[in-house]
Amino acid sequence: METIFITTITVTAFTGLLAFLLTLADRTIGDYGQVKLTINENREYIVDGGNSLLSTLIEQKIFIPSACGGKGTCGYCKVKVLEGGGPVLSTELPWLTEEEVENNIRLSCQCKIKENIKIEIPEELFNVREYETTVEFIEDLTPTIKRLRLRLKEGEEINFKPGQYIQLKAPIYEGNDEEVYRAYSIASPPSEKNYIDLIIGYVPGGIATTYVHKYLKAGDTVHINGPYGNFYYQDNYKNEMILVAVGTGMAPILSILYYMKENNIKRKARFYFGARTPEDLFLLDVMEDFEKTLYDFKFVPTLSRVLDEHNWTGERGRVNVVLDRHIKSPEDKEAYLCGSPGMIDTVVGLLKEKGILEEYIYYDKF
């Protein structure tokens, strides 16, 4: 009995000592004090060391695109680190090409600020703003997809190109103990500058999608920042347009179509939209209106899991299969794609096989 008691005391003392040493290390070794952050050679900030470069930039109201909220799983938050970033981490390598590594490109969410650091970012990111918005309405488009309208404060405007996206901040809520940012494409026309529409699907376990689908309601305040993205309508071409999306990937295509309608753009366009069943189709009335009002537009939905009982008379199969049947010649065509990486990669490969030049294929993976 005495042996057990002594053993218990010894283990408890050792555990306490280890906890003390870890706490001391965190406060000393992990305390990097204040360091200087220099951006583009002409902007300097004194910041607390020890945090990620991404979170530090956000604290300075400088917003870098990040679709995964800083988890290192999207590869969007790339910056050029000129000095002070330390070695490239293994968590960064899957998202960086050899050329990017050689040119000191880093994932800002993985790069910790431990000393004075110099970086380069595109100048246009200094024009990205944070907005406090109010939820004007939320509506169900399908059992798993919602559309919401976020109204900016009186007198404020957001200027974006059709196809770009914003980042929405999901706050702390029951079951989620951290604020995160997630990227969502804008579904409304660029001419409407005092609100934006988003189309957000529910992902089980997703922090932001759970917030939107389970907690958010009309009248709530939502913080967003943006706009971002190199995926947007190209005004300098007159080619026939091939538009491709699945699910919530319809959002940026909607913004492009609204832009074309409002500006009376006379271009042939075909929108191939992939879904599983008729229940997964939405905004069919909007697509019908586009067919009536745009110069030469057709909406081509295709279902991959349609049953006889659905009485579906439209296209069947995955969207790439339908594209393969429809595209006969590559001449004077350009493509805008939005959807999952798997879908994008498959469709890009198909379009290139069809002879469409890669520089005329624009896409947004999510």
For 142, the token pair is 């399908």
Q: 297 is in which domain, residue-wise?
A: 240-365
Q: Specify the pLDDT at position 12.
A: 47
Q: What is the pLDDT of residue 6?
A: 53
DSSP 189-252: -TT--SEEEEEEE--TT-HHHHIIIII--TT-EEEEEEEE-S----TT--PEEEEEEEGGGHHH
| Domain boundary pick from 125, 157, 174 | 125
pLDDT at res. 10: 53
**Interacting residues of 283 by C-beta distance below 8 A, sequence separation 6+:** 141, 250, 254
State the pLDDT at residue 27.
Answer: 43
Please state, in angstroms and rounded to a whole number, the distance separating the CA atoms of residues 265 and 223. Answer: 33
Length of the chain: 366
- Note the pLDDT of residue 26: 45
Q: Residue 308 has what pLDDT?
A: 83
pLDDT the model gives residue 365: 84
DSSP, res 57: H
The tokens describing 80, both together, are 């050029």
Asked whether residue 134 is assigned to any structural domain, the reply reads: yes
Please check whether residue 11 lies inside any domain of the structure. no
Q: Which residue, of 200, 228, 256, is where some domain finishes?
A: 228
Identify whether residues 357 and 306 lie together within a single domain: yes
Does one domain contain both 65 and 96?
A: yes
CATH code of the domain in which 82 resides: 3.10.20.30
Residue 88 lies in a domain: yes
pTM of the model: 0.83
What is the spatial distance between Cα 252 and Cα 244, in angstroms, rounded to a whole number?
Answer: 11
What integer pLDDT is reported at residue 75 of this predicted model? 86
Could you give phi then psi for residue 315, rounded to 5 degrees?
Answer: -70, 150
Answer yes or no: do 325 and 254 share one domain. yes
**Distance from C-alpha of 189 to C-alpha of 204, rounded to nearest angstrom:** 30
What is the rounded distance in angstroms from the CA atom of residue 78 to the CA atom of residue 125?
Answer: 12
Instruction: Kindly state whether residue 200 falls inside one of the protein's structural domains.
Output: yes
Q: Which of 195, 228, 261 is the last residue of a domain?
A: 228
Distance CA 99, CA 112 (A): 22
Q: Report the CATH number at residue 221.
A: 2.40.30.10
CA angle 255, 223, 221 (to 5 degrees): 105
- State the pLDDT at residue 41: 94
> How many domains does the chain fold into?
3
Predicted local confidence at residue 69, as pLDDT: 67
What stretches in the chain show pLDDT beneath 50?
A: 5, 8, 11-12, 16, 19, 21-28
244 shares its domain with 361? yes
